[in-house]
Chains A and B, each alone.
Chain A
Amino acid sequence: MSTDATTQTTAAPEGAAVRQAVAVAERPPRASAASAALAFGWRGMLKVKHVPEQLLDVTITPVMFVLMFTYLFGGAIAGSTGEYRDFILPGLLVMSVTFTTVYAGVAINTDLTKGVVDRFRSLPIWRPAPLLGALLGDTVRYLVGGTVIIVVGLILGYRPENGPLGVLAAVGLVIVFSFGLSWVFTTMGLIMRSPNAVMNAGFMSIFPLTFLSNVYVEPETLPAGLEAFVNANPISHLVSACRGLMDGSVQGSDLVVVFGTAALLTAVFLPLTTRLYRRG
């Protein structure tokens, strides 16, 4: 299969063959909303299949985070690396997966620079399907990223008190939240001019949101104003909920904030994204 495309000779398509291929009158019933979205999800997976390197950011980066934070700050912040590892692992799960949501916006902006979006927009399909499908594909990346964090943690000796089910629930919760958060970045992706601009603006917003939370330190150690911000930050509630799910002390109020935020972001930004996508 190393034949150069330009040197390969292909005969002209026969007019008759083309006529025959288009003579087929079969017109299947319109694709359902779900099957259209799933088809776009499949598209996202195919891209990962063809360029597996794009999973590097959800595999290598989390490993780096866990090692760096545990061994660099563990002694200074929590007195021991083991204790800090247990404290920070749910937080790193949240951080590395929410970072990945920025790429949803980058991907959609990249798509827009190509002609294929015009074709999608000219199809008789449920309008949000391309966007929803792309995010469905992204959830697979989130799952991979989350799994890597947990596995590295287990290797370093992390033993979640609430067992595998608690961990699964935490990963699931992070994915639900990230799904909601992704819509913010897809909106950005449709407004901004280049994939790079989306990347920069995306990380400029996600960095403060994750760092100014309870991922790394207990909020009580912070100045009053900052503490208030950290406590209000939905990321903090997500981190608390994950810690709770993994050690068995989950608070209902944290879950309410997490689900509420995800629902609110989706309710506002999904229609906005769909509208913007439609206009092109």
Chain B
Amino acid sequence: MATQATLAIEASDLAKSFGETTAVDGVSLAVRTGSVYGVLGPNGAGKTTTIKMLATLLRPDSGSAKVLGQDVVADGDAVRQRVSLTGQLASVDEDLTGRENLILLARLLGFKREPAKARADELLEAFNLADAAGRLVKNYSGGMRRRLDVAASLVVRPEVMFLDEPTTGLDPRSRNQVWDIIRALSGAGTTILLCTQYLEEADQLCDGIAVIDHGKVIAEGTPAQLKASVGSAALHVRLLEPEQRPEAERVLAGKLDCSVTLENDPAALSAPCADADAAASAVDELGRNGIEVAGFSLGQPSLDEVFLALTGHPAEEQAENGAEPQKEEAA
């Protein structure tokens, strides 16, 4: 079939329970070959369980999945030949050095002794870990450990790479490094399935996104489609004085005749509005009411809003992590 040839991952109705807990409750995915696909959801949504089933580490209770045309249950070994997994916990051995980790994996993947060393050194160089090659991984920083982890998945270039929350716990600079690596990998032709709880990350990297909550896919599409699905553009306003927000909410609601959303940022609020003139006069009205505006913009809704609209609850840790990258980029 023509569609199968272009799909790297096809999952249909995957389900998995652990005792009483249903971790994944009927997830279907279709990931095009060569794309970066995001599985976006809060902690405990079922992302890791889904990725483990696709990477053949867990057997689904029901449903089926094919990776590169091969069934993850019946042809698990064939799938393992062509994919690699970077787990949520750094999947490297802390008690070995970075170089020993890569040599071990190269040996396990069939390299002979000398080529294994050469491949390890090549990867250490490419991932800027050559200086730390001889140090035990337990003494690595979070960012270095993650880079080694990704390098370990690339000893042989996989056709499909599963990345489970690759930037969780990283500082912004390390996170940007990992993003660059992911883009480079995608550029080299590897299909990437990325689990993340950071909306910003999915927005930055992914061609397609499945939003997952309580083990179910609740929305699917490109980042732009998902944003559009929530509705039209919105006016975002940031106030100088957070205390004035209730007043600002009343003014905007009256002027634009709509319901106003209060953001996590105590000084920010937003309202659906497609018309630039109406937006300008609404901001004007704030000024006339003595409310000082620090900044405003008219734009597409953020993925945060998408998430809220879809699930009825904000993405977890949104205030801590989702907002931070934006601050950093503005700086």
Point out residues on A near B: beta carbons under 8 Å: 1, 5-6, 8, 10-31, 35-36, 39-40, 42-43, 46-47, 50-51, 114-116, 118-125, 129, 279-280
Contact = CB atoms under 8 A, between A and B. Distances in A.
B58 A8 contact: no
Contacts of A40: 108
B41 to A, nearest CB: 20
Nearest to B181: A18
Contacts of A121: 57
Nearest to B126: A21
A122 B128 contact: no
A8 B98 CA distance: 16
Nearest to A119: B91
B125 A116 contact: no
B115 A28 contact: yes
A6 B144 CA distance: 9
B316 to A, nearest CB: 21
Given A5-B141, A121-B57, A13 B180 contact: yes
B157 to A, nearest CB: 5
Contact of B56 (A14, A35, A47, A122): A122
Given A5-B132, A43-B104, A280-B57, A115 B144 contact: no
Contacts of A13: 126-128, 147, 177, 180-181
B135 interface: yes
Nearest to B125: A17
B258 interface: no
14 contacts: A11-B128, A12-B173, A24-B119, A30-B81, A30-B110, A40-B108, A46-B100, A47-B96, A115-B89, A119-B153, A122-B84, A122-B85, A124-B80, A280-B58
Interface stretch (B182-190, B195-203, B304-312): B182-190
A129 B107 CA distance: 12
Nearest to B151: A21
A236 B100 CA distance: 42
Nearest to A110: B95
Contact of A10 (B111, B112, B128, B156): B128
A23 B110 contact: no
Interface string B223-252: 000000000000000000000000000000
B109 interface: yes
B96 A50 contact: yes
B108 A10 contact: no
A115 B101 CA distance: 13
**Which 10 A-B pairs have CB atoms at the shortest separation, nearest pair first?**
A115-B89, A21-B126, A28-B110, A119-B91, A39-B107, A18-B184, A124-B80, A115-B91, A15-B184, A122-B85
B65 interface: no
A5 B147 CA distance: 14
Nearest to A5: B141
B176 interface: yes
Contacts of A122: 55-57, 80, 83-85
Given A28-B110, A36-B108, A8 B131 contact: yes
Interface string B50-62: 0010011111000
